[in-house]
Amino acid sequence: MDFFLLVAFVAIGTYLLKAREERKRIVLLGSHLGNYQIEKLMETLADGYLRALGEKETERREQVWQQLANSEAQLAAQFSKFAAEFAKVPEPEARISRLPIGLPFATQALPAMSFDMRKALTIHAAGIARVAQNSAGLSPKAKAFTMSAELFLMQHTCHWFCKSKAVASARVLVRHQTPYAQLVESVSPETREAYSALISSSR
């Protein structure tokens, strides 16, 4: 068989296997997310933060911040429930490959080069709840900035789970004009420490 034809067959086969695995992961994550209004609440917060920052009247701005605090609390509660529900997923189905690009069966073939999505979601849930409670005593503007970073990093993890790290980083850069490394630096110190330890450790 012609060498280039063989390479083409291998490439096509790899792509099809990878696409099937990605669809399975998307369905798995979506089946759990579908029980909550997490995405809707995230949109509410994103729009609200922009509205609050654009308000010139102090009283009106404070009213918007207060309304957003309620949405943040709702989001934190729902995400905690979502993380607890996803924690019931069997470990083999919840592994994320740390390889920069997506390859079929990567988590099975190279388990040491992967980490647990369930643990990642638990870290994100704790981070979102911590910022919503504002235990660090941040100003409204700083709180909005940190919460946005927590949410964008969580989105990155979800895209990483469904696709790959490279795809996740590209999407967050295009959608939020924020490099992945900057997101990691912008979340709360507790989230950054726990997240960095998780993605760099082996099983």
Q: What's the pLDDT at 56?
A: 84
C-alpha–C-alpha distance, residues 133 and 143, integer Å: 10
Pairing state between β 95-97 and 114-116:
antiparallel
pTM of the predicted structure, to 2 decimals: 0.88
Q: What's the pLDDT at 182?
A: 96
* pLDDT tier for residue 94 given thresholds of 50, 70 and 90: very high
Residue 1 has pLDDT above 70, yes or no: no
Q: What's the pLDDT at 129?
A: 97
3-class secondary-structure state, position 142:
helix
Q: Mean pLDDT across the chain, nearest whole number?
A: 88
Question: What percent of the chain lies above the pLDDT cut of 70?
Answer: 85
Taken in order 188, 191, 194, 200, the sign of the CA dihedral is: negative
Q: What's the pLDDT at 112?
A: 75
Residue 105 has pLDDT above 60, yes or no: no
Q: How many CB atoms lie within 10 A of CB 108?
A: 11
Which ranges in 87-188 belong to alpha helices (H)? 91-94, 106-109, 117-133, 140-162, 165-176, 180-186
Q: What's the pLDDT at 107?
A: 66
Give tens-digit pLDDT for 129-164: 999 999 899 999 999 999 999 999 999 999 999 999
Query: What's the mean pLDDT in 15-33?
Result: 81
Question: What percent of the chain lies above the pLDDT cut of 90?
Answer: 68
Residue 91 has pLDDT above 80, yes or no: yes
Residue 23 has pLDDT above 80, yes or no: yes
